[in-house]
């Protein structure tokens, strides 16, 4: 019953706030749209707690640097974006161009200053990422990116893509790894929800001047280790390293 009620709340909130955001996008500036989206994500986190029974615990805020920085997050659930966005007043988030196919959403994303890139990756996605990230950096905004590029099941991981390293190097922005176990309670796109305490963990930032291989190894190790620990703590099972699996678009994609 909880899952059904939350699904109803999810769609009512999503449709209602999308319409409000599209209307707000008609006005100058990003302030009004940003306010609508902030209300939306906080309403969704409220519904997660009071309807689905998923409480959110946030740890490690002391690791967040001053000024602009990049958040590199584990991605286990559709709920990840709501949880992370609810912790900040404004984020420039990286998302695939598939979201632009939804009516009105493309307009809202552009107004928000989202960094929309081609889901297929490649050199064009790299250029788009660099261009949009430069705009966000010039505005002093924090940037949210999911380095794996796809939703991963609990206990699995995809190849970490180097776009986050390019951004960190190009703009000399520290990168904060973010671990989570939300996938235990809201699995990927599943309608089934499991009540419990989900954790979002901000980890110590990584300097932007590390060599690419060392940076990517450090980032992946930090995210995956803490994620495995959070999953273990919530499930009562032993800590188990995630298994790498092929991404949906693994074939024919070169690392960017």
The reply to whether 45 falls in a domain is no
pLDDT at 115 over 90: no
The reply to whether 36 falls in a domain is no
Q: Which residues of 176-201 are buried (b: 16+ CB within 10 A; e: fewer)?
A: bbbbbbbbbbbbeeeeebbebebbbb
At residue 188, the pLDDT reads: 82
- Range with lowest mean pLDDT among 59-63, 89-93, 131-135, 224-228: 131-135
Give the pLDDT band (50/70/90) at residue 129: low
| Count of structural domains within the chain | 1
The reply to whether 181 falls in a domain is yes
Q: How far is residue 98 CA from its own chain's centroid?
A: 15
At residue 123, the pLDDT reads: 63
Across the range 91-103, mean pLDDT stands at 67
Tracing tokens 């954790």 back to the chain, one arrives at: 199
At residue 99, the pLDDT reads: 59
The reply to whether 229 falls in a domain is yes
- Range with lowest mean pLDDT among 3-7, 118-122, 183-187, 191-195: 118-122
CA distance 239 to 27: 50
Give the pLDDT band (50/70/90) at residue 203: very high
The reply to whether 115 falls in a domain is yes
At residue 71, the pLDDT reads: 96
At residue 256, the pLDDT reads: 41
CA distance 71 to 88: 11
Which residues have CB under 8 Å from 26's CB, separation 6+?
none
Tracing tokens 């602009």 back to the chain, one arrives at: 68
pLDDT at 138 over 60: yes
The reply to whether 47 falls in a domain is no
Average pLDDT over the chain, rounded to an integer: 87
The reply to whether 97 falls in a domain is yes
The reply to whether 139 falls in a domain is yes
Neighbours of 215 (CB within 10 A): 20
pLDDT at 192 over 60: yes
CATH code at 209? 3.40.1130.10
Percent of the chain beyond pLDDT 90?
61
Q: Which residues constitute the domain of residue 222? A: 55-244
pLDDT at 78 over 80: yes
At residue 191, the pLDDT reads: 81
| DSSP, residue by residue, the chain | -HHHHHHHHHHHHHHHHHHHHHHHTTSSSSHHHHHHHHHHHHHHHHHIIIII-EEEEEE-GGGPPSS--EEEE---BTTHHHHHHTT-S-EEEEEEGGGGGSTTHHHHHHHHT-EEE-TT-HHHHHHHHHHHHHHHHHTT-EEEE-TT-S---TTEE-PPPTHHHHHHHHHT--EEEEEE-GGGTS-BT-S----EEEEEEE---B-TTS-HHHHHHHHHHHHHHHHHHHHHHHH-PPP-PPEE---TT-TT----
């Amino acid at each position: 019953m909880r899952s059904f009620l939350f699904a109803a709340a999810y769609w009512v909130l999503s449709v209602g706030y999308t319409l409000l955001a599209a209307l707000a996008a008609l006005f100058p500036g990003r302030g009004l749209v940003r306010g609508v989206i902030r209300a939306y994500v906080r309403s969704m986190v409220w519904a997660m707690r009071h309807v689905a029974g998923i409480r959110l615990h946030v740890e490690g805020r002391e690791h967040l640097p001053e000024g602009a920085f990049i958040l590199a997050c584990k991605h286990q659930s559709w709920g990840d974006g709501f949880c992370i966005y609810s912790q900040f007043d404004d984020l420039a988030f990286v998302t695939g161009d598939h979201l632009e196919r939804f009516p009105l959403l493309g307009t809202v994303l552009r107004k928000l200053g989202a960094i929309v890139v081609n889901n297929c990756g490649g050199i064009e996605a790299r250029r788009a990422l660099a261009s949009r990230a430069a705009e966000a950096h010039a505005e002093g905004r924090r940037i949210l990116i999911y380095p794996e590029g796809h939703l991963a099941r609990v206990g699995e991981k995809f190849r970490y893509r180097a776009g986050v390293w390019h951004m960190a190097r190009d703009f000399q922005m520290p990168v904060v790894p973010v671990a989570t176990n939300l996938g235990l309670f809201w699995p990927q796109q599943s309608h089934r929800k499991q009540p419990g305490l989900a954790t979002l963990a901000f980890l110590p930032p990584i300097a932007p001047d590390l060599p690419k291989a060392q940076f990517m190894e450090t980032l992946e190790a930090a995210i995956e280790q803490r994620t495995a620990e959070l999953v273990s703590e919530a499930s009562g099972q032993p800590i188990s390293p995630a298994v790498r699996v092929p991404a949906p678009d693994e074939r024919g994609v070169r690392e960017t």
